């Protein structure tokens, strides 16, 4: 039993590796440049990065109102 299951397992591993070896890859410099461009393009729309003004922040601490 162990002999045949080893063979089946090894076949799977070899098939998987063949698949992975055949994919198209891009250079890291290219990939890094694209990552950087995406981050910079979307940076102004990222509230955690740029902060938001207090008036539009629904989570701001509640101010107490008093009647004069």
Partner 1 sequence: MCDQTFMAITFGPCDNCSTTSPLMNIYIKNEPTNYCSFCVEMMACQGLLKGETLASLKNESESLKKKLEEERAKLHDVELHQVAEKIEVVSALSIKTRRVLKGHGNKVLCMDWCKDKRRLVSSSQDGKVIVWDGFTLNKEHAVPMPCTWVMACAYAPSGCAIACGGLDNKCSVYPLSLDKNENLAAKKKSVAMHTNYLSGCTFTNSDMQILTSSGDGTCALWDVESGQLLQSFHGHTADVLSLDLAPSETGNTFVSGGCDKKANVWDMRSGQNVQSFETHESDINCCRLYDLRADREVAVYQKDSIIFGVSSLDFSLSGRLLFGGYNDYTINIWDVLKGNRVSMLFGHENRVSTVKVSPDGTSVCSASWDNTLRVSRALGMPWLLVLYSLT
| CA dist., res. 36 & res. 30, Å (int) | 10
Site membership for partner 1, residue 66 (CB under 8 A): no
- Structure letter (DSSP) for residue 32: H
Site membership for partner 1, residue 65 (CB under 8 A): no
Out of 53, 65, 66, 68, which residue is the one contacting partner 1 (CB under 8 A)?
53
- What is the separation of C-alpha 66 from the centre of its chain, rounded to a whole number of angstroms? 47
Between the two ends of the chain, the Cα-to-Cα distance in Å is: 87
Out of 63, 65, 66, 68, which residue is the one contacting partner 1 (CB under 8 A)?
63
Binding mask 8-47 for partner 1 (x = CB under 8 A): x-xx-xx-xxxxxx-x-xxxxxxxxxxxx-xxxxxx-xxx
């Amino acid at each position: 039993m162990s002999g045949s299951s080893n063979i089946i397992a090894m076949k799977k591993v070899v098939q998987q590796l063949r698949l992975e070896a055949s994919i198209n890859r891009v250079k890291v410099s290219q990939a890094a440049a694209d990552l950087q461009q995406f981050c910079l393009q979307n940076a102004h729309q990222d509230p955690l990065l740029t902060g938001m003004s207090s008036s539009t922040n629904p989570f701001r601490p509640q101010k107490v109102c008093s009647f004069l």
